[in-house]
Amino acid sequence: MSEVTCARCGERREGLGAAPLPGALGASILANTCATCWEAWRLEQVKVINHYSLRPHLKEDREKLYEITRDALHLPAG
Ligand SMILES: [Zn+2]
């Protein structure tokens, strides 16, 4: 498995190996997020979904969640 320089923790660590989400966001996570931080965010995300009462099957809520994900993982814009 290849290593990435993680945008969240700043360490060079093992990456995910495959994009965890479809599209540009998934590709960005694959390139910029280590497996450890992704796992931490996956757990945190559950709280975020509950906190904002997000319904990820709805496009609008999914986009909100993706925006929060970008922020949480310190992903580069775009
Ligand atoms: Zn990390």
What's the gap in Å between 6 CA and the centre of ligand 1?
5
DSSP class of 78 = -
Q: 18-46, pLDDT tens digit by residue?
A: 999 999 999 999 999 999 999 999 999 99
Give a yes or no: residue 57 inside a domain.
Answer: yes
What's the gap in Å between 49 CA and the centre of ligand 1?
21
What's the gap in Å between 47 CA and the centre of ligand 1?
19
CA distance 9 to 41: 12
Give a yes or no: residue 12 inside a domain.
Answer: yes
CA distance 28 to 25: 5
Query: Domain containing 48: what range?
Result: 3-72
Q: 40-73, pLDDT tens digit by residue?
A: 999 999 999 999 999 999 999 999 999 999 999 9
What's the gap in Å between 32 CA and the centre of ligand 1?
8
Residue 36 sits in a domain whose CATH number is 1.10.3880.10
Count of domains in the chain?
Answer: 1
What's the gap in Å between 9 CA and the centre of ligand 1?
4
Q: Return the percentage of the chain with pLDDT > 90, whole number.
A: 91
Q: What is the pTM of this model?
A: 0.90
Give a yes or no: residue 60 inside a domain.
Answer: yes
Residue type, 15: G
DSSP class of 14 = E
